[in-house]
């Protein structure tokens, strides 16, 4: 995800007097004002933790990271387990749970699915606001008896993923997973609440070819790129094959076979 927003004003708000101290801390950490009458977005702290709210008429609801309830819980319980396409894409099989680097973590949804299936996950998110949401969601999930062990397999790093991969120290991840923001031209693709918030703040990943190049240089076994089903492949080497679903596909770049 792009590191800087596209000029959107952002302020920090406390959703109640009891949360003013936490809001102040986040404002200082993110370098954002507590007062900005012209802001288009608000980073809010309240009972449900940290969230981003687009301001103005017809704005969608807030965006937050919640690994315990809602969509994450439903997918964890009814998502299809090891039969899911993402599980097959990263190489999950009998006795095989690869170590995965999700270099474009976003809100952590795909990383959480893989962690729930037993993979050790490292996440990189370079947009500070999105990384803050992810950090807050992971912290709240650790207190849950059922979900805590899952997020215990998720380690969050911040900063530029390309630079981090190029300067990687220690054992290389077996699989690197990429889901770069795609330059949509179809307005229907912006309907999802998260996308309506992400686009002004994050923009598109125009450095996806460099991201793929760095991933291919680092991963020990394979690189997996998630794309909209009809999107072109990322410029660079061609994938060996793809797994295609209704709305998305996974382009597979193998380097070495997975073994139990």
171: CB partners within 8 A, 6+ apart = 99
Instruction: For residue 18, give both structure tokens.
Output: 């009891």
First to last CA, the chain: 33
* Cα 3 to Cα 22: distance, rounded to the nearest angstrom: 24
Whether 125 has a binding-site annotation, put simply, is yes
The contacts of residue 4 (CB under 8 Å, 6+ apart) are 203
- 38 half-sphere exposure, CB direction, 13 A CA radius: 3
Q: State yes or no: 36 annotated in a binding site.
A: no
Contacts of 161 (CB under 8 A, 6+ apart): 103, 104, 124, 126, 211, 214
What six digits make up the tokens of 182? 């795609």
> Hey, CA dihedral for 221, 1, 132, 142, is it positive or negative?
negative
Q: Which residue has the tokens 């918030």?
A: 197
* C-alpha span between 247 and 255 (Å, rounded): 26
Q: Cα–Cα distances in Å, from 108 out to 37, 40, 241, 256? A: 31, 24, 25, 26
Using DSSP's 3-state secondary structure scheme, residue 43 falls into strand
Q: Is residue 135 a known part of a binding site?
A: no
Detail the residues annotated as belonging to a binding site: 125-126, 179
Detail the residues annotated as belonging to a binding site for S-adenosyl-L-methionine: 125-126, 179
């Amino acid at each position: 995800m792009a590191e800087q927003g596209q000029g959107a004003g952002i302020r920090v708000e406390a959703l109640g007097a009891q949360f003013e101290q936490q809001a102040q801390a986040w404002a200082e950490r993110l370098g954002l004002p507590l007062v900005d009458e012209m802001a288009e977005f608000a980073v809010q702290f309240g009972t449900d933790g940290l969230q981003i709210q687009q301001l103005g008429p017809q704005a969608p609801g807030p965006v937050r990271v919640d690994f315990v309830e809602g969509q994450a819980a439903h997918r964890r319980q009814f998502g299809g387990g090891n039969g899911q396409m993402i599980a097959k894409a990263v190489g999950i099989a009998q006795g095989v749970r690869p170590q995965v680097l999700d270099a474009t973590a976003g809100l952590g949804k795909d990383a959480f699915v893989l962690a729930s299936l037993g993979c050790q996950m490292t996440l990189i998110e370079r947009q500070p606001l999105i990384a803050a949401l992810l950090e807050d969601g992971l912290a709240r999930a650790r207190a849950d008896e059922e979900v805590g062990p899952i997020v215990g397999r998720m380690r969050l790093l911040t900063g530029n993923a390309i630079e981090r991969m190029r300067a990687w120290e220690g054992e290389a991840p077996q699989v690197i997973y990429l889901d770069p923001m795609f330059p949509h031209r179809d307005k229907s693709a912006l309907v999802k609440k998260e996308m309506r918030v992400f686009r002004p703040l994050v923009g598109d990943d125009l450095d996806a070819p460099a991201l793929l190049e760095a991933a291919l240089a680092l991963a020990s076994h394979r690189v997996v790129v998630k794309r909209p089903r009809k999107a072109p492949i990322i410029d660079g080497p061609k994938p060996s094959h793809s797994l295609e679903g209704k709305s998305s596909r996974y382009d597979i770049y193998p380097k070495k076979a997975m073994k139990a």
